[in-house]
Structure 1
């Protein structure tokens, strides 16, 4: 199994795929992967996700623990290696149910594909990090000025870096960003070709394991002049359905959220057991899976932080020229189903 290279892996390719499909008219008249929920015996529905404990943690637990079946659903998970594969399937209508990041939701919505984000599932802000090389010495965050940071162009972790710079008075324009695929950043860091790398899990853990120093993440700072909890990025994982799928299967959407709610509770109440189940499904080591999951906040709360996080991500994507216009949040974020089944989770 090849662990996906991050939540923003192949984003440029993904945008090209989605834009092309949307332009070809695939966003409308979509086919669905499942028949209507009230057609008698439950028929198999394919739910698309990723080989990632952040994107598909609840999705995997709901299947493995039988929560889908408890709700009368016959859902089979199909886990892909990255978001670029699922984007095309969502745009074509094949992926009626899809688990992914808010970045992916915004990407397809900005290209005219009609989707409904039913609920957030996890905030992966704690995995978006900057790791310094083994012998890097800093007396303050401003010492990053003039240093080389390896980063994939357009990666969401840049939001955290921008907010770090604003909070510490660091001139971000004086940081030398070196465009590197995340898989190449480890070697560059070890050789000393770069002073730090800006990435996500599982690459952050690999960098630390080889002697790197975690300088900061979206939720924690170890910088000399800024220690402790921070709020420098929100990076939500979500579950979405196409509008076409929802119109034909409204009861499926409700049952889906009920099953995912059970899975969320299980992850929070039995973190090690959940990590073992997920690790086996995606074929990674249990300790690595547990370490990654401990950095995430698994919750289905639709609140102002979630909406603000989506809007800030969309503005960032526009700034990076990954989308041509920022879609209105209400066009793709729809708390209606969540409010119906778990009204306490909708806090806005």
Structure 2
């Protein structure tokens, strides 16, 4: 706070006045006193309100979240309305958008159409390496949601049999990356097959029609063709599958960190409910994805919801996937895969919400 001692010129002027000039002194004193009060008030305001603070915490008008049939927890959260219930306290709306694959979720995140998107971890790495500004903040499942699939009457029995064959896959997704890793394991690459880029549901249909020889499948489509048409999962390897990851736009996380925690909190409530209510979970999946009970049950049989923490284990899996993507030319040779994985994974939000 400023005082008279802070204004030496003003004190000198005041000393020139005597009682003979009291009216002038009174007027000057009044001006000086006003000046001191103004400066004091400004100083007090500055001390109480930091330059970068705001009277209320920043909040979005709407939180935009995706849902996906390969992410059963998102279906529970959408069905139950727990996120809407929580955010309504702040007059914040929730908007839902369907992602039909990791590639679409990444497109929506990059275009700001959604704030939170469901992908596989390896797909998140690919998006991040290509400049998509996202953070991986939560694990919604550890699924065996992909395998290499062929028809029941196909002569294909092992990965080596794919050489020269037409194989459907959705680029930028875990099944596509799974295919590349399976080929690499036996000394083959994408150049040794004829890749037919199709979205997941179209890939299943192409396999069933005989338009392709094999398909890098994704549940629930994979479970559906397995149970309803007898398609065979001829190559399975859970170690090549990256986990189901909830991503947030970096800009959203920086501007509204509290709301990242709120979304994760709602997700965690839905995950725990799904574990405790398996029959109801199956019913929600069957209704939303228009599946039979047996197909929904088959997908959930391959879905582990036991752990939502994100950190080193996810980094190890997606870094290994990134190395194959780099070797296959999908990621540029100059990219430091391990650094991208480190920049992608942010475990701090879930640590604040999920207590071990």
Q: TM-score range by the shorter chain?
A: 0.5 to 0.7
Choose which of 289, 297, 306 in structure 2 pairs with 1:290: 297
Query: 2:261: which partner in 1?
Result: 254
Residue 156 of structure 1: CA displacement?
A: 3.9
Instruction: Kindly report which structure 2 residues correspond to 1:1-348, keeping only aligned pairs within 5 A, or say none.
Output: 45-50=62-67, 52-55=68-71, 57-69=72-84, 71-72=86-87, 74=92, 76-82=94-100, 83-124=102-143, 126-136=144-154, 141=158, 144=161, 148=165, 150-152=167-169, 154=171, 156-157=174-175, 160=178, 172=188, 177-180=193-196, 181=198, 186=204, 189=207, 196-208=214-226, 209-219=228-238, 231=239, 233-298=240-305, 299-324=307-332, 325=335, 326=337, 328-344=340-356
Within 2, Cα distance between the matches of 1:105 and 1:78? 20
Residue 333 of structure 1: CA displacement?
A: 0.8
Within 2, Cα distance between the matches of 1:216 and 1:203? 16
Contact persistence 1:145–1:174 (CA under 8 A): no
TM-score normalised by L of structure 1: 0.67
- Relative to its length, the structure with more helix (as a share) is 2
Aligned length: 290
Q: Which runs of 5+ in 1 are unaligned?
A: 1-35, 220-230
Within 2, Cα distance between the matches of 1:142 and 1:68? 43
Asked which structure has the greater RCO (Cα within 8 Å, sep 6+), the reply is 1
Cα displacement string for residues 290-333 of structure 1 (whole angstroms, at most 9, x for unaligned residues): 33232222231224321112212333333343333235222121
Structure 1's 79 and 285: CA in aligned 2 closer, same or farther, altered over 3 A?
farther
- Relative to its length, the structure with more strand (as a share) is 1
Within 1, Cα distance between the matches of 2:314 and 2:205? 35
Cα displacement string for residues 198-219 of structure 1 (whole angstroms, at most 9, x for unaligned residues): 3222332343221222223233
Residue 236 of structure 1: CA displacement?
A: 2.1
Within 2, Cα distance between the matches of 1:117 and 1:334? 6
Within 2, Cα distance between the matches of 1:128 and 1:333? 23
Residue 117 of structure 1: CA displacement?
A: 1.5
Within 2, Cα distance between the matches of 1:66 and 1:308? 34
Within 1, Cα distance between the matches of 2:170 and 2:105? 21
Please, what is the CA RMSD of the aligned residues? 3.7
Structure 1's 136 and 304: CA in aligned 2 closer, same or farther, altered over 3 A?
same
Residue 147 of structure 1: CA displacement?
A: 7.6
Q: Which runs of 5+ in 2 are unaligned?
A: 1-53
Within 2, Cα distance between the matches of 1:259 and 1:272? 20
Query: 1:27: which partner in 2?
Result: none
